[in-house]
Amino acid sequence: MSTLLRQSDSFHKICQYLVSFLLLLPLGTLQAGEAAVDPSDNGIDVLEDATLEVDSRSSETSAAAEEMAAHSPVREYAGPLANAVDDATGNAEPLQILGVEIAPGTSRRLSWSATELFEGVPVSTPVLVLNGVAPGPTVCLTAAVHGDELNGIEMVRRVFHDIEPSRLSGALIGVPIVNVQGFRRGSRYLPDRRDLNRYFPGNPNGSAAARIAYSLFNDVIANCDALVDLHTGSFERANLPQLRADLRNPDVVTLTHGFGAMVVLHSKPTVGTLRYAATMAGIPAVTVEAGGPSQLELAEVKHGVKGIETLLTTLGMTRRMRLWGDPEPVYYRSSWVRADNGGILLSDVSLGSSVRKGDLLGSITDPMNNARTELRSPYSGRIIGMARNQVVMPGFAAFHVGIETDEVTASEEEVEVAQKPAVGGYVDGMSE
């Protein structure tokens, strides 16, 4: 119990740190009105892995999400993302977003609030906008769609502080904390325990989650030409910094190449995720996964920032920012190794370790009878995600083994099994 209290204390310190940074951002004049105070929940969600499946939407709501996505406006084809800056002609235009006009060469901090929230009081969250002096694409960064995933919040802050609108071609829009209500409670979920990242592109007449998703998607995301959604592993699991991307989409492939030397995992997006809805609406999107929840992990943050800044340089939006030299992304197929027994999980590998087929990954010891079982790798590959040491139940996904493959193979294999959309997203949802 004392450990839990300490974790909770440090989490609140981190929250205060982040909020104070956001309030200090010199990006504009509007203040975020943080009016509502959320009732705290009992905090059990970070302890219960099983809720992930329960929480996932039923097939009925998933069909509704597909229906909505099918009717969401598909953007006009504007040419390949890779050439967007070179192909742009004329002068940069003012950017219209959230009822505000942002002139070229300026930055603003705006405030977005989804209407009709739980208490009937809108809760607002900052939206950072940099409109460059020269024309180009609009790239959006979103973080903390899951409220306990902190690394992305800090990545957005660092990226926005590193860039001057006077040196930018195109525009950058950042939403550092999408799920404000979950963030305040240190929870992945919304207060009604729904996973916001299963409700995009949303519905103005649906559940609270669907309404928040709809508002974000139409008020903010619809302005983007490309989207990078920042996540971490979930439930005491951490991910090696990696991209999740649907490599069947050429503009998505452009995005993955732009990130430089970051591991790329081909993954067809789960229905209802922001990545899914954006791509369906013609906005190529990738998810960055880096580290685990409820902590600020500086190495992961720096890795993510370097990737994003390399992307902006590759797209021609900025000039030489921390460019990874001659990047060669690595594509992985992947498989989760699950615990057969319940007990105390202790790892013998670390994130990023290379493993051979049959190598010991970790062990699970039954605390009652001291029986010990070993978890061995079924493949040769690399550990791209893993659980922190903890007590687990049978079936718990413990180690995510990436299997190196090339880009073409990765996307072809997925096509074969792509007949049915991934619903519930348990495997992919270890994260995103």
Residues within the interface to Zn ion (CB under 5 A): 146, 149, 231
Distance CA 312, CA 317 (A): 5
**Which residue's CB is nearer to Zn ion, number 95 or number 305?**
305
Taking the complex as a whole, how short is the minimal distance between the CB of residue 195 and Zn ion, in angstroms? 9
**Which residue's CB is nearer to Zn ion, number 64 or number 150?**
150
**Which residue's CB is nearer to Zn ion, number 146 or number 157?**
146
Taking the complex as a whole, how short is the minimal distance between the CB of residue 416 and Zn ion, in angstroms? 27
Residues forming beta bridges with residue 355, ordered by sequence position: 381
Taking the complex as a whole, how short is the minimal distance between the CB of residue 144 and Zn ion, in angstroms? 8
51 φ/ψ angles, rounded to the nearest 5 degrees: -65, -20
Distance CA 85, CA 309 (A): 16
**Which residue's CB is nearer to Zn ion, number 149 or number 154?**
149
Taking the complex as a whole, how short is the minimal distance between the CB of residue 230 and Zn ion, in angstroms? 8
Taking the complex as a whole, how short is the minimal distance between the CB of residue 375 and Zn ion, in angstroms? 24
Sole residue written with tokens 């609030």:
113
**Which residue's CB is nearer to Zn ion, number 169 or number 239?**
239
Which of 127, 137, 13 has the alpha carbon at shortest distance from 75?
A: 137
Distance CA 428, CA 432 (A): 6
Which of 85, 73, 96 has the alpha carbon at shortest distance from 201?
A: 73
Which residue type, as a one-letter code, is found at position 124?
S
Distance CA 18, CA 114 (A): 21
**Which residue's CB is nearer to Zn ion, number 136 or number 304?**
304
Contacts of residues 35-40 at CB distance under 8 Å and 24 or more positions apart, as own/partner, are 35/121, 35/122, 35/123, 35/124, 36/117, 36/119, 36/121, 36/122, 36/123, 38/118, 38/119, 38/181, 38/184, 38/185, 38/191, 39/191, 40/185
Taking the complex as a whole, how short is the minimal distance between the CB of residue 314 and Zn ion, in angstroms? 25
